[in-house]
Chain A
Amino acid sequence: QKEVEQNSGPLSVPEGAIASLNCTYSDRVSQSFFWYRQYSGKSPELIMSIYSNGDKEDGRFTAQLNKASQYVSLLIRDSQPSDSATYLCAVQIQGAQKLVFGQGTRLTINP
């Protein structure tokens, strides 16, 4: 079982709709969770971090964490064509600094 799993997509969402991206992780001592956006040919850009159970909102983005289910998600409201990118879920295990990344979900927002 992979440490961090994401549906590779592609996920296609119409403009203005909600895009929902999901991520599961296997290590129960995972402590910190991050969502990065990566445009083709570019570097990962941090868009959300979440450390405790529940929801965290930042503009059009909401991260949701459920440690009991080992599940973290990212919702993008009012999706824009500029949101089209690969979204990477990353997990940081307690006691370690390194990030473990999922394979990424390719998201396409259709005008």
Chain B
Amino acid sequence: NAGVMQNPRHLVRRRGQEARLRCSPMKGHSHVYWYRQLPEEGLKFMVYLQKENIIDESGMPKERFSAEFPKEGPSILRIQQVVRGDSAAYFCASSGTSGRTREQYFGPGTRLTVT
């Protein structure tokens, strides 16, 4: 599968627990983006990463949320001490560096439910 991969597809957490969402970019892509879609709302940018670097985190909540994209392995979006308002679909997208490869392609998403 050469597309963007995300896991888990569904994640249920109780309030106060931690959620870890993983994303592997499309083959040949080195840029990863995380977006959040709240119920009945639009897609909102959270963070943009390249390997070992956070490039733009202007959409990340100031507390409890962090992201990384290590040299080896998938990108991780981590949400500590989840609250009900974190329940949403979290999408990862990836892109290349220039021309048409800068188009962003989305993974299937992780649906997080906080109980």
Give chain A's interface residues, CB within 8 Å of chain B. 32, 34, 36, 42-46, 49, 88, 90, 96-104
Contact status B103-A34, CB under 8 Å: yes
Give which listed residue, B33, B58, B102, B105, contacts A32 with CB less than 8 A: B102
The number of chain B residues with a CB under 8 A from chain A is 25
Contact status B109-A97, CB under 8 Å: no
Q: A101 to chain B: which residues have CB within 8 Å?
A: 35, 42-44
Q: Given A44-B43, A88-B43, A97–B33 Cβ distance below 8 Å?
A: yes
Q: Given A45-B106, A97-B31, A97-B95, A102–B55 Cβ distance below 8 Å?
A: no
* Interface SS of B by simple majority: strand
Contact status B102-A98, CB under 8 Å: no
> How many contacting A-B pairs (Cβ < 8 A)?
53
Give which listed residue, A32, A98, A104, contacts B42 with CB less than 8 A: A104
CB of B45 closer than 8 Å to a CB of A: yes
Contact status A46-B105, CB under 8 Å: yes
Q: A98 to chain B: which residues have CB within 8 Å?
A: 33, 45, 48, 56, 58-59
* Interface SS of A by simple majority: strand
Contact status A97-B42, CB under 8 Å: no
Give which listed residue, A49, A90, A100, A103, contacts B100 with CB less than 8 A: A49
Contact status A99-B45, CB under 8 Å: yes
Contact status A102-B42, CB under 8 Å: yes
Contact status B103-A43, CB under 8 Å: no
Contact with A along B80-115 (1 / 0, CB 8 A): 000000000001010100001011111111000000
* Interface-centre pick from B44, B95, B103, B107 (highest chain A CB count, 10 A): B103
Q: A90 to chain B: which residues have CB within 8 Å?
A: 43
Q: A36 to chain B: which residues have CB within 8 Å?
A: 106
Give which listed residue, B56, B91, B100, contacts A44 with CB less than 8 A: B91
Give which listed residue, B45, B55, B108, contacts A100 with CB less than 8 A: B45
Q: Give complex CA distance A96, B104 in Å.
A: 13
